[in-house]
Amino acid sequence: MKERVTNKSRLTFAVITATIGRIELHRAIQSVANQTYPAKHYVFVDGEQFFDNARAILSQYPAVTAIYLPMNTGKDGWYNSRINAIAPFLVQEDIICYLDDDNFYQPDHIQNVFDVYVKEDPDYVYTFRNLIDRKGNFLCQDKIESLGHYIKSHPNTYTVNIRHQGILLENIRFELGSEKFIDVSCYTFKRALAQNLAQAWNQIGFGNDRYVFQQLNKLNAKGICTEKFSLNYQFIPSAASIRMCSSLQAIFAEHKIELTEQEIEHIFCQIVCQINNCAHILPPI
C-alpha cells in the first residue's frame, strides 16, 4: 500500500550515518547541521573497538544522536548494510536519508528533496552527486554512474588521452559500468518504504545500493530525482580502477618513469573527470 504523508508542510527528516570514527565524520555532521531545511542526524558507531575514535568526534556535536553498537556489523565486507536495514525501525521521522561518513551534503540537499516530496508525493527521492578528492576538493559532476533512472550519453567503452610528465598516452580504453544504480548517500525514502527495504540492504555488503535499486524497480516504487548535484561523494579508485592504473604504470615504466600511488590516483581522477566533463545526462525513457 502506498504511504501518503498527510501534513507535507511539516515533513521531518532523519539522516542515518554509519561510522567507525573516521576523521571525515566531522565534515558529514557539519553538512547536516548546515542544511537550510532541518534534519535530525543519527550516527551509528559500528563496533566497540571504534568507540573512542568516534566519541572524540561526536562529543563535539551535542545535537547529533549517537548510537553505540557493541558489535561490528560491517565486518567481513558488510559495510553499512545492517545499519541501513535496522535504522528505519528505530527513528520516527517521516523521511529516511542516508549519508556515508566520508561524504557530505550541499546546504540545500534536504530542501531540494523536501520540495519534490511536497510537489510529487513519490515513494522515494534521490539526487545526483559530485565527485570530490580525499581532501574534499571538487573533481567533477558524476554524469556516468549514479544516475538512477536517467541515462548516460557515453557508450560503455570509452577512450581517453592523458598527459603526464610530458608523456602523451592516446586512446586508452576505459570500460564504463552498464548497471544502473543510485549511490546510498543520494537516497531518501518514506519511512515505511525504508522499512520494507530492510531485507534488501541485508542481502549483500559491497554494492548494496545497486541491489536496493533493483528491488525498488521490482516493487514499482515511484522514485523522482531532484536533478540537483547536492551530494558530495569522496572518490577513491576501486580495485578495478587500480588494476587499470597498474597497466598505466607499466606503460610509464617503459619511459623509465616510476609513478607513486598518489600519482596513479591523480591520473585516474584525471581520466574520470575527462569522461564526466564531456558527458551528458539524458532523461529517462
Q: Distance of CA 2 to CAs 8, 11, 12, 89, 192, Å? A: 15, 17, 18, 18, 9
Is residue 152 located within the same domain as residue 215? Answer: no
Cβ proximity of 177 and 53 under 8 Å = no
What CATH number does the domain containing 114 carry?
A: 3.90.550.10
pLDDT of residue 14: 99
Nearest Cα residue to 231 out of 96, 87, 131, 136: 131
Inform me whether the pLDDT recorded for 260 exceeds 60: yes
Residue 138 covered by a domain: no
Is residue 165 located within the same domain as residue 64? Answer: no
Inform me whether the pLDDT recorded for 139 exceeds 70: yes
Inform me whether the pLDDT recorded for 226 exceeds 60: yes
Is residue 41 located within the same domain as residue 154? Answer: no
Cβ proximity of 28 and 99 under 8 Å = yes
Is residue 221 located within the same domain as residue 240? Answer: no
DSSP 135: T
Is residue 29 located within the same domain as residue 85? Answer: yes
Tell how many helices (H) and how many strands (E) occur in the chain.
9, 13
pLDDT, average across residues 121-133? 98
Inform me whether the pLDDT recorded for 1 exceeds 50: no
pLDDT, average across residues 191-213? 94
pLDDT of residue 168: 82
pLDDT, average across residues 102-112? 99
Question: Higher-confidence residue: 126 or 7?
Answer: 126
Distance CA 150, CA 165 (A): 37
Residue 1 covered by a domain: yes
pLDDT of residue 238: 66
Is residue 71 located within the same domain as residue 198? Answer: yes
pLDDT of residue 76: 87
Q: Report CA torsion sign: 182, 25, 27, 263.
A: negative
Question: Higher-confidence residue: 262 or 25?
Answer: 25
- Of 195-204, 210-219, 224-233, 263-272, minimum mean pLDDT range: 263-272
Q: Distance of CA 152 to CAs 166, 179, 180, Å? A: 32, 11, 10
Inform me whether the pLDDT recorded for 243 exceeds 90: no
Residue 85 covered by a domain: yes
pLDDT of residue 244: 61
Is residue 242 located within the same domain as residue 162? Answer: yes
Inform me whether the pLDDT recorded for 242 exceeds 60: no
Inform me whether the pLDDT recorded for 6 exceeds 60: no
Is residue 206 located within the same domain as residue 108? Answer: yes
Is residue 210 located within the same domain as residue 283? Answer: no
Phi, psi for 145 (deg, rounded to 5): -120, -80
pLDDT of residue 155: 82
Residue 136 covered by a domain: no
pLDDT, average across residues 144-160? 89
Inform me whether the pLDDT recorded for 165 exceeds 70: yes
Is residue 279 located within the same domain as residue 250? Answer: yes
Count of CB atoms situated within 10 Å of the CB of 1 = 4
Of 228, 244, 266, the domain-final residue: 228
pLDDT of residue 230: 99
pLDDT of residue 259: 78
Helix, strand, or coil (residue 261): helix
Is residue 33 located within the same domain as residue 101? Answer: yes
Residue 103 covered by a domain: yes
Q: How confident is the model at residue 180 (pLDDT cuts 50, 70, 90)?
A: very high
pLDDT, average across residues 108-123? 99
Q: How confident is the model at residue 269 (pLDDT cuts 50, 70, 90)?
A: confident
Residue 242 covered by a domain: yes
Residue 49 covered by a domain: yes
pLDDT, average across residues 65-90? 96
Q: How confident is the model at residue 156 (pLDDT cuts 50, 70, 90)?
A: confident
Is residue 75 located within the same domain as residue 114? Answer: yes
Domain coverage including residue 160: 147-180+236-285
Query: How many structural domains are present in the chain?
Result: 2
Residue 212 covered by a domain: yes
